[in-house]
Structure 1
Amino acid sequence: MQISDAGIALIKQFEGCELKAYQDAAGVWTIGYGWTQLVDGKKIREDMTITQRTAERLLRCGVVQYEQGVNKLLKVGVTQGQYDALVSFAYNLGVRALGTSTLLKKLNDGDTQGAAEEFMKWTKVGGMQLAGLFMRRTAERALFLS
C-alpha cells in the first residue's frame, strides 16, 4: 500500500512546515514537515534553511521509508484510512515505536477497536501531555476508524 493524499494532508497539518531549522518538543533539530533526518547528506543544524520545494521533496521521498516499514509490520489487511493513520503515526514516532507498540499487536491480532484506542496512549513527551500530540492522535484515530 501507499499513503493517500488524505494521509499526506494529515501529516502536513500536524507537522506544519518550517523552512528554518528548529528544535522540536523533544529537543531534536527539525526542518520542513517535521523532518529530522539528513537533508541532502547533511545533518540538520541550527542555521539550516531550505526551500518549500525541498520541504515537499523531503516529505514525499521520506514518507516512503515509513510506508515500507508499515507494510512490513502489518500481518492483516487494512483499509486506506487505517494505513494512512499508521504511516502518520510512524512518521511522527518512528517505525520502531509502531513495531513495538500494543497498537500494532492488537491490530495484527484482529482487534481493530482495541488498536484504535491505543493511539491515545501516545500523547506525551517527557511525561507531559502535549496538546498538539493529543490533537494529532485524535485525528489519526478518527482516520483509522473511518
Structure 2
Amino acid sequence: MKTSEKGFDLIKKFESLHDGDLKKIGLQPKMDPRGIWTEGWGRAMRDSKGNFLKGEKNKDIAEKSATIHTLDDANKALSHDVGIFELIVTRKLKVSVNQNQFDALVSHTYNTGGSSTLFDLINKKASKNEIYKWFTERYITSEGVVLNGLIRRRKAEADLFFS
C-alpha cells in the first residue's frame, strides 16, 4: 500500500513546516521539543556518525548541513521518508488493513519509529477499545513530559485508524 493524501495531510498537520529562523531566506532547521534539529516536515537531522543533531550548540552545524530550503524540497523529502515508513509498516503487518488504517500507522511510525506492541495488537486482532486505548495513551511524552500536541496527534491517528 501507499500513503494517501489523507495520510500525508495528517503528518503535515502535526509536523508543521519547520522554519527555525524566519529572518533568513528559505526554510531553516529548528529544534523539536526534545532538542533534536529537524528540517522540512519534521525530518530529524543527524551528524556524520548518524547521531541526532541535538541542542543549541549544534545550531551552526544544522544550518550548514541543511538540505531542505523550499516547500518543494520539503515535500520531496517527505515523500522519500514516508516511503521508508511504508515499508516498515508493511513488514510489521500480518493482517490486511484498509487505507485509513495504513495511513494512521504510517503517521504513527513516522513520528515514533514504530511500536512492536501496537503491531502485535493489530496482528492479533485485539478489540477496538484495546487498540484505541493503546494508541491514545502511549507515545504522548517527550523527555518524560506529556505534550498536548502528542496527545492530539495520537487521538487523530486513532480516529483515522477506526474511521
TM-score normalised over the length of structure 1: 0.88
Q: Could you tell me which residue of structure 2 aligns to residue 65 of structure 1? A: 84
The 1:107–1:11 alpha-carbon spacing in structure 2 relative to 1, beyond 3 Å, is same
Larger-gyration structure (1/2): 2
Instruction: Identify the match of residue 41 of structure 2 among 19, 23, 33.
Output: 33
Matched, 1:81 2:110: no
Q: Is the 8 A contact 2:139 2:150 kept in 1?
A: yes
Q: How does 1:3-18 map to 2 (within 5 A)?
A: 3-18=3-18
Residue by residue, what CA displacement relative to the aligned partner does 1:8-50 show, whole Å, maximum 9, x if unpaired? 0000000000221011111111001001156xxxx97432361
Matched, 1:108 2:116: no
Shift, 1:122, TM fit: 1.5
| Worse overlay, 14-23 or 112-121 | 112-121
Give unmatched runs, 5+ long, in structure 1: none
Query: Contact 1:88–1:140 at 8 Å: present in 2 too?
Result: yes
Whether the 8 Å CA contact 2:95–2:123 is kept in 1: the answer is yes
**Quick one: distance in 1 between partners of 2:111 and 2:38?**
12
Q: Which amino acid aligns with 2:39?
A: I
Matched, 1:21 2:29: yes
One of 123, 131, 153 as aligned partner of 1:136: 153
Shift in Å, 1:127: 1.4
C-alpha displacement of 1:116? 2.3
Q: Which of 70, 75, 79 is equivalent to 1:56?
A: 75
Give the aligned CA root-mean-square deviation in angstroms.
1.8
* TM-score normalised over the length of structure 2: 0.79
Query: Structure 1 CA distance, aligned partners of 2:30 and 2:141?
Result: 19
Q: Is the 8 A contact 1:21 1:29 kept in 2?
A: yes
Aligned pair count?
A: 139
For 1:23, the aligned partner's letter is M
Partners of 2:132 and 2:121 lie apart in 1 by 9
